């Protein structure tokens, strides 16, 4: 699904394992993030944020508190599968369970 001209998001559901795998492809270098929200805003959004620095991948399960820098969740329920970039784009692939029992994560129903 193309969410903007330079931002593509897809997902694959594994109902048997109760897992969803996300793929984000964005025209950006440095970092990429995606959030799940019931309200459309950053506050209380469930987020995955990743970046590359000096060839090393960094990745966090985060949540929104107001319109501030998202807070790192105490429970890291997202699993990074791949994070790569080329001259123009960053691609991030990650997985999480439908339900995590983490109060900072939204259930995927």
Query: What are the tens digits of pLDDT across the range 76-102?
Result: 999 999 999 999 999 999 999 999 999
- DSSP category for residue 70: P
First to last CA, the chain: 19
User: Which helix (DSSP H) or strand (DSSP E) does residue 87 occupy?
Assistant: none
CA distances from 86 to 30, 51, 103, 105 (A): 11, 13, 35, 30
Model pLDDT for residues 10-21, shown as the tens digit of each residue:
999 999 999 999
- pTM (predicted TM-score): 0.91
2-97 has which fold? Immunoglobulin-like (2.60.40)
For position 30, what pLDDT does the model report? 79
- DSSP category for residue 24: E
Supply angle C-alpha 69, 73, 74, rounded to 5: 140
Instruction: Report the chain's mean pLDDT, rounded to a whole number.
Output: 93
For position 2, what pLDDT does the model report? 62
For position 3, what pLDDT does the model report? 64
Domain parsing of the chain, residue ranges: 2-97
């Amino acid at each position: 699904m193309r969410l903007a001209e330079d931002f593509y998001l897809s997902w694959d559901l594994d109902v048997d394992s109760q897992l969803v795998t996300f793929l984000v492809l964005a025209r950006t270098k440095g970092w990429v993030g995606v959030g799940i929200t019931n309200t459309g805003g950053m506050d209380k959004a469930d987020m995955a944020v990743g970046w590359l620095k000096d060839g090393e991948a960094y990745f966090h399960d985060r949540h929104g508190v107001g319109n501030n820098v998202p807070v790192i969740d105490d429970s890291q329920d997202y699993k990074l599968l791949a994070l790569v970039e080329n001259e123009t784009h960053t691609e991030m692939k990650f997985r999480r369970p439908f339900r995590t029992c983490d109060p900072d994560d939204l259930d995927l129903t």
